[in-house]
């Protein structure tokens, strides 16, 4: 994808609302923690960026969105807005897996563990070789203490990154809690390593079938903690 393309990137995979607009050769961004208010802020803030760039939705050549794994409700908001903006103009959508965006905060490394908070005492994670642009494992969810490095790699070779490394029970590898912004998703889309699709074919990446504890499970958990 050429740098002069007009691109909007949306990341709603965490409690942050992160937006990046590249238009007419300039970059405009918004990145704020909004908690569960993403649905209230996202369209007004996109409008602000478009106005700053003197651009309209019809001018966009593609819309980039965080594909998951991440916060279920946030991801649904992001893809819903992306599809809503893209459909009238048949604008292509480019989904970037969240763990990819996290991993490429550590470029040129042969074994990167991208790990993000999945709640329920679990993390979303995958291993990458960002030097050679390869994913070394499936996208997974699990307990931090159960994560093991890929075969043929030593634990000390692993470089960790992602907000899972700020958790009390962080993965047992050295790492930083750095997280990407929408500008990082936009940059990955420009590598052309990710497929553009028609709006109606855009999908999210789910690695967890169960997104919350039942009331009975919550009660049992409280009882065990008592």
Domain with residue 28: its CATH number is: 3.30.420.40
Residue pLDDT, tens place only, 76-87: 999 999 999 999
CA-to-CA dists, residue 146 to 125, 141, 156, angstroms: 11, 10, 16
How many beta carbons lie within 10 A of that of residue 61, not counting itself? 16
Confidence at residue 223, expressed as pLDDT on a 0 to 100 scale = 41
CA-to-CA dists, residue 65 to 10, 14, 98, 205, 214, angstroms: 5, 13, 9, 11, 30
Average pLDDT in the 126-146 region? 98
Mean of the per-residue pLDDT values of the chain? 92
Which pLDDT band holds residue 98 (cuts at 50, 70, 90)? very high
The neighbouring-strand residues paired with 62 are 7
Average pLDDT in the 56-82 region? 97
Average pLDDT in the 143-165 region? 97
Average pLDDT in the 146-167 region? 97
Confidence at residue 59, expressed as pLDDT on a 0 to 100 scale = 97
**120 occurs within a structural domain:** yes
Average pLDDT in the 39-50 region? 98
* 51, 31: one domain: yes
Distance CA 78, CA 68 (A): 10
* 32, 134: one domain: no
Residue pLDDT, tens place only, 170-224: 999 999 999 999 999 999 999 999 999 999 999 999 998 654 443 443 444 444 3
Overall size of the chain counted in residues: 226
Q: How many domains does the chain have?
A: 2
How many beta carbons lie within 10 A of that of residue 6, not counting itself? 21
Q: Is 146 helix (H, G, I), strand (E, B) or coil?
A: helix
* 171, 190: one domain: no
Cβ-based neighbours of 211, under 8 Å, separated by 6 or more: 72
* 21, 80: one domain: yes
pLDDT reading at 60 higher than 90: yes
The DSSP H or E segment spanning 28 is strand 26-33
pLDDT reading at 25 higher than 50: yes
Confidence at residue 3, expressed as pLDDT on a 0 to 100 scale = 53
CB 193 within 8 A of CB 133: yes
Confidence at residue 208, expressed as pLDDT on a 0 to 100 scale = 84
Confidence at residue 69, expressed as pLDDT on a 0 to 100 scale = 97
pLDDT reading at 169 higher than 80: yes
Share of the chain above pLDDT 70, in %: 91
Confidence at residue 141, expressed as pLDDT on a 0 to 100 scale = 98
Confidence at residue 4, expressed as pLDDT on a 0 to 100 scale = 79
**119 occurs within a structural domain:** yes
Domain range for 193: 7-97+180-201
* 56, 76: one domain: yes
Average pLDDT in the 32-41 region? 97
């Amino acid at each position: 994808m050429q740098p002069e393309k007009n691109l909007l990137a949306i990341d709603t995979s965490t409690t942050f609302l992160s937006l990046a607009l590249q238009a007419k050769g300039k970059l405009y961004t918004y990145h704020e923690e909004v908690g569960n208010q993403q649905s209230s802020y996202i369209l007004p803030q996109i409008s602000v960026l478009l106005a700053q760039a003197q651009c309209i939705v019809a001018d966009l050549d593609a819309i980039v969105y965080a594909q998951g794994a991440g916060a279920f409700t946030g991801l649904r908001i992001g893809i819903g807005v992306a599809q809503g903006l893209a459909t009238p103009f048949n604008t292509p959508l480019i989904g970037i897996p969240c763990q990819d965006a996290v991993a490429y905060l550590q470029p040129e490394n042969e074994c990167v563990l991208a790990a993000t908070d999945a709640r329920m005492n679990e993390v979303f994670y995958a291993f990458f070789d960002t030097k050679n642009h390869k994913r070394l494992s499936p996208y997974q969810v699990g307990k931090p203490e159960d994560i093991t490095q890929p075969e043929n790699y030593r634990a000390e070779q692993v470089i960790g990154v992602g907000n899972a490394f700020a958790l009390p029970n962080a993965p047992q590898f050295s790492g930083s809690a750095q997280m990407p912004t929408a500008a990082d998703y936009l940059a990955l889309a420009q590598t052309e390593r990710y497929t553009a699709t028609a709006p109606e074919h855009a999908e999210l990446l789910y690695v967890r079938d169960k997104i919350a504890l039942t009331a009975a499970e919550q009660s049992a958990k409280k009882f065990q903690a008592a």
